[in-house]
Chain A
Amino acid sequence: MFEQTQAFEARRPLTLPARLLRSLHLDAPLLIALLAVCAIGLGVLYSAVGQNPALVVSQTLRLGVALAALLVVAQIPPAALRKWAPWLFLAGIGLLLATLFFGDVGKGARRWLDLGIVRFQPSEVLKLAVPLMVAWYLHERALPPAFHHVLVILLAAFAPAVLIAAQPDLGTAVLVACSGFFALLLAGLRLRYLFAAGALALAALPVLWHFMLDYQRRRVLTFMNPESDPLGAGYNIIQSKIAIGSGGVFGKGWLNGTQAHLEFLPERATDFIFAVIGEEFGLLGLLALLGLYLFIVARGLYIAANAQDTFSRLLAGSLSLTFFVYVFVNAGMVSGLLPVVGVPLPLVSFGGTSMVTLMAGFGILMSIHTRRKLLAA
């Protein structure tokens, strides 16, 4: 195996930056696209926070931490990740339970765990731990998975999602559930199970409704008819639609978005920053951003397609698809296609925790991609 790698390198002489990237186990196309999105994000953020440089600096610091996480995770070989997967998962569940009982309350939700030095959201750990766990579980098993394996996996994916939804944090719960489900789907979940699950989910909707909290119900109702509550929850949607719509094709220009600057648009630096981009850079700006996101997803799927064992394949595929869900749910809710669940726009929204997890996820993708063993063709 070792000689084969050597032979490969001998065939294609590498430039210095390429050699550096290779030795750090980084993937250049993915890294460039990620940095481009982050750069756009910082620019938009500067406008959205009312040109307050302090906030942009603090976001840049977070970005630095996130990139460091990417760099560290990229050094871990997939085999090691596979070995740790179940333990990470159990630790994540433990932290979630701890949060449920001892967590700090912020904005009416119990999401934070204070470990003395740092406060963090254990639900973020699960965004990686769940796909790792599912990929680990399916790695050794014959695919498509048998029925009882499907049940085990659903439990592994949905139990943490339910715990997270109880915090309550519906957005993260959806993402965690998605990440586990996508791994299962890619593993070749039989379509009849899929349809049965779909039917079951539809039947469960009224039950779910029953268990939803007031504010969650209100969001769904408001989504159906935002104008019913223009002073409350519907206000965000009405204002974000005006922001996006008034941007037109070319936008009002950077720092010229009146919706954002006159404080019509709530949460403009966090969950609703997509509307600021739409207002200031117009349809073209949004299409460019979506193009970058799609490129990242496509690169992720390409890495998944080229991965060489079941674990890596499922993990890479699941992480990439979940990233797309991130983008789609945020853009969908801000433009009024989906109800408002608290999902930030990845890499752009102000705030640090989710960015670190995202970048760590991309570190996993890069680790998978840069450690392919070349098989004799």
Chain B
Amino acid sequence: MAPRIRFKDPWREQRLFFGRLIAAAVVIVLLTGVLVARLVQLQVLNHPHFAGLSQDNRIRIEPVPPTRGLIYDRHGQILAENLPAYQLELIPEQVDDMRATLSALAELDLIAPGEIDRILALARRQRRFEPVTLNFRMDDEQVATFAVRRQHFPGVDIRARLRRHYPFGAATAHTVGYVGGLSARDLERLERANYAGTSQVGKTGVEFAYESLLHGQVGYRQVVVNARGRVLQRLETPAERPATVDGRRTSRLPVPGQDVVLGLDIHLQLAAIEALAGRRGAVVVLDTRDGDVLAMASTPGFDPNLFSTGISQTDYQALLSDPDNPLFDRALRGIYPPGSTIKPQMALALLHHRVVGPGERLFCPGHFRLPGSSHRFRDWRREGHGNVDLIEAMAQSCDVYFYAHGSTLGIDRMHEFLSAVGLGERTGIDIQGERPGLVPSREWKRAAFRRREDQAWFPGETVIAAIGQGYMNATMLQLAHSTAVLARRGVRIQPRLAIASADPLTGELINLPSVELSQVVLEDERHWDLIRDSMIAVTRGARGTARLQLRGTSYLVAGKTGTAQVFSVGQDEEYDEDEIDERLRDHALFVAFAPAEAPEISIAVIVENGGSGSSVAAPVARAVMDRYFAARER
């Protein structure tokens, strides 16, 4: 086809334009017709219906918050429940003299005198028929005091509502977490409509992580309000006789939140807290078979019930300024130099990379020197351990053995192997806030330091990394997890708190899956046995570092002590506990799995600045394990 040249043809274009304009006008008329028809439908045909909704009885839709799901431990003990609580409310329009009423209530000790001005200011900001809460937490005595004087206080009344309660208080503060008042920031991540009417939301721990399960679905019902907008009557029984607007249901029962069952054993948790005896520390116990967290304790704790009822500024300040930092979760967020507790993993790395043979001996003179350097890396035992093989080095926690072979292994292989057995990265436990810990590497050091001369990796840093010091750090959850990997001969299972959810209406239990992580495979499977035997030697061997503390257990324990330096001692100085400030004393650690021949649990213990791992941390672990095995016998 030959290309056709087109010219502008004003007449034709104008005719075309007029045509389109007319078409547009017709469409406009049609659309306006539709709109008018709609208005007639709403305002003429359905007018009586809408007028009824709007005029004499005005019906407002009010949200009905769902009941929050409960949290249980593995044996059905309630860890978080909802209790009725009483609060004092005042409706401004029904009170003649607000200040006098509030003063009278303050005299009866029902409200704090300092609150009066705040309440008056609050009442001025909102509509006069809406209640102002005067006291969120009324104790029984206050309820009684008010109840007998109620007739003197028109417009003031007691209202019952549900309050979250944690029966075990501080024992579960870090794991179960707590709920707190819904904030604007919470609403940014939650579905706003579903939280209409909800006043509290999970802030930490399981309460936060399982918010979507625990919360449930909001319901709604119609309330009748008068011409001034005040609620006159709540139309109850929404289920039997659903109210409707526009021919559709506008009331719905809330769907209560799911109950959550934790793998936690509250009695084991209490035993751990008791064993820590008020010292700063943490205990984590994992079930090596499915990753269940049986206990995860951090002391000192705090009372989560303070938060669920609205913590006062004084209480909160007291918690924040406590030097022992009770709000801090030492099990999940505390990162500590692991010290000798990672020697089992290190020994495994040495065997795996054939740096050392199983029976190969090394002479420990009490210190180690890198070739061409005068710096002495000291053993914890000044006089040395003599000629030791792997099992003896483990049992006595010989540092020189690990200095020497670790420096041969090198930081690259060390980093790779320790990472594979679960150190230096988050375990992926199902609550937020876990710290990843650190297994240093050349790459990490390059990225972590700004100055060029700090970025290089030095051989001496490999030496101290081999005994879990220097840059290396870990959480107790990680240590318990990594120890479980040793117990399971390379099988890695993600630690988890929640093991099931339960429907509160039907009782139906839904098990949550346990997650298996990538397995550690060794060329020689017998190395696992060797490491286990070396850890048994720690608790049973003639010179085992924990032989005294774990003497006479009915079960066989494979363990490892650790004493982690917080403060470095000079080359020729002696570490003297009495001379050093308490906060600079060594951390006491202990890890173990048991029974050694058929492992069920792994455990990691730290007592901050506690001193020696064998004398301080091992007894804590023993108390917890005794409790576990005693309960199992029953």
Contact = CB atoms under 8 A, between A and B. Distances in A.
Contacts of A332: 35, 38
A301 B21 contact: yes
Interface stretch (A1-9, A16-24, A238-246): A238-246
B20 A246 contact: no
B99 interface: no
B192 A232 contact: yes
Interface string A239-260: 0011111111100000000110
Given A242-B54, A245-B47, A245-B50, A258 B35 contact: no
A235 B222 CA distance: 13
Contacts of B40: 283
A321 B24 contact: yes
Interface stretch (A57-65, A74-82, A182-190): A182-190
Contacts of A246: 47, 50-51, 53-55
Interface in A166-216: 182, 185-188
A249 B34 contact: no
Given A241-B246, A331-B35, A229 B193 contact: yes
Q: Per DSSP, are chain A's interface residues mostly helix, strand or loop, or mixed?
A: helix
A182 B23 CA distance: 12
B249 A227 contact: yes
Given A258-B54, A335-B39, A227 B225 contact: no
A39 interface: no
B24 A238 contact: no
Interface string B54-72: 1100101101000000000
Given A230-B250, A264-B60, A317 B21 contact: yes
Interface stretch (B1-9, B324-332, B403-411, B450-458): B1-9
Interface string B181-207: 000000000001100100000000000
B54 A324 contact: no
Nearest to A257: B54
B193 A245 contact: no
Nearest to A314: B17
B28 A188 contact: no
Nearest to A307: B17
B162 interface: no
A246 B246 CA distance: 13
Contacts of A241: 42, 50, 246
A187 B61 CA distance: 51
Given A301-B24, A304-B21, A313-B17, A243 B32 contact: no
Interface in A312-327: 313-314, 317, 321, 324
Contacts of A258: 54-55, 58, 227
Contacts, number: 153
Contact of A278 (B39, B49, B193): B39
B28 A290 contact: no
B16 A248 contact: no
Given A186-B21, A232-B192, A227 B44 contact: no
Contacts of B229: 262-263
Contact of B44 (A283, A301, A304): A283
B51 A248 contact: yes
A46 to B, nearest CB: 20
B48 to A, nearest CB: 9
Contact of B225 (A140, A142, A262): A262
Nearest to A317: B21
| Contact count band on B | 35 or more
Given A258-B227, A335-B35, A294 B28 contact: yes
Interface in A100-150: 140-144, 146
Interface string A294-314: 100110010011000010011
A283 B39 contact: yes
Contacts of A142: 6-9, 13
A73 interface: no
Contacts of A282: 43
B25 interface: yes
B193 A283 contact: no
Given A185-B20, A244-B43, A231 B28 contact: no
A96 interface: no
Nearest to A304: B21
A143 B13 contact: yes
Contacts of A298: 25
B235 interface: no
Given A185-B20, A186-B21, A328 B31 contact: yes
Given A249-B44, A283-B40, A290-B35, A243 B54 contact: yes
Contacts of A144: 16
Interface string B352-386: 00000000000000000000000000000000000
B216 to A, nearest CB: 14
A337 interface: yes
Contacts of B277: none
Contact of B61 (A235, A262, A286): A235
Contacts of B12: 143
A287 interface: yes
Contact of B32 (A143, A231, A290): A290
B27 to A, nearest CB: 9
Contacts of A182: 24
B18 interface: yes
Which one of A141, A142, A230, A314 has the highest number of Cβ atoms from chain B below 10 Å of its Cβ?
A: A230
B210 interface: no
B282 to A, nearest CB: 40
A171 B50 CA distance: 28
Contacts of A230: 61, 220, 245, 250
A310 B12 CA distance: 12
A337 B218 contact: no
B248 interface: yes
B36 interface: yes
B46 interface: yes
Contacts of A335: 35, 38-39, 42
Across the A-B interface, give the 10 residue pairs with the lowest CB-CB distance, nearest first. Answer: A245-B50, A232-B193, A246-B54, A188-B16, A142-B6, A227-B248, A245-B42, A283-B43, A246-B50, A248-B47
Given A141-B8, A243-B54, A249-B47, 17 more contacts: A142-B13, A143-B12, A185-B20, A186-B17, A186-B20, A186-B21, A187-B17, A188-B17, A231-B63, A232-B192, A241-B50, A246-B53, A249-B44, A286-B43, A290-B36, A305-B18, A335-B35
28 contacts: A140-B8, A142-B6, A143-B8, A143-B12, A143-B13, A185-B20, A186-B17, A187-B16, A187-B20, A188-B17, A227-B249, A231-B63, A231-B218, A238-B245, A244-B42, A245-B43, A245-B47, A245-B50, A245-B54, A248-B43, A258-B54, A262-B228, A264-B58, A282-B43, A317-B24, A324-B28, A331-B35, A332-B38
Interface of B: 6-9, 12-14, 16-21, 24-25, 28, 31-32, 34-36, 38-40, 42-44, 46-47, 49-51, 53-55, 58, 60-61, 63, 192-193, 196, 218, 220, 225, 227-229, 245-246, 248-250
